Amino acid sequence: MTDVLVWAGVAVLGGLGAVVRLTVDKAVSRRAPKGFPYGTLVVNISGAMILGFFAGMTLPAHLALMAGTGFVGSYTTFSTWMLETHRLAEERQIGPAVANIVVSVALGIPAALAGQTLGALL
């Protein structure tokens, strides 16, 4: 696969990942209680599982780049997670801020492992 096709694939899948992220975040946020970034949490945990799945499949390098960097890289969001955690701390909601960090890590690692295990089964 040529570099141009890989770059184009990353761009297209990155755009798709961003749209899916917005859709999932908004759908979760509309239904969840206010005050905690549940949408971002769901996006990042599901993204960890998806990336683990792709890793478990041991995709060829160009496909891994497009799927992992393109789609999952745009779908998940470390920066929003940190900004929302910081916002919670600024609002003196220390419990929810700490919970956002702990829950994200505590669920994200097993989600990535579960995805990798499932991907390896294929």
The annotation status of 23 as a binding-site residue, yes or no, is no
The annotation status of 76 as a binding-site residue, yes or no, is yes
Q: Give the whole-angstrom CA distance, residue 88 versus residue 37.
A: 9
Measured CA to CA in angstroms, residue 86 lies from 24, 42, 44, 94 at distances of 22, 18, 17, 9
Give exposure, 57-66, as e/b (b: 16+ Cβ within 10 Å).
beeeeeebbb
Binding-site residues from annotation:
73, 76
Binding-site residues from annotation for Na(+):
73, 76
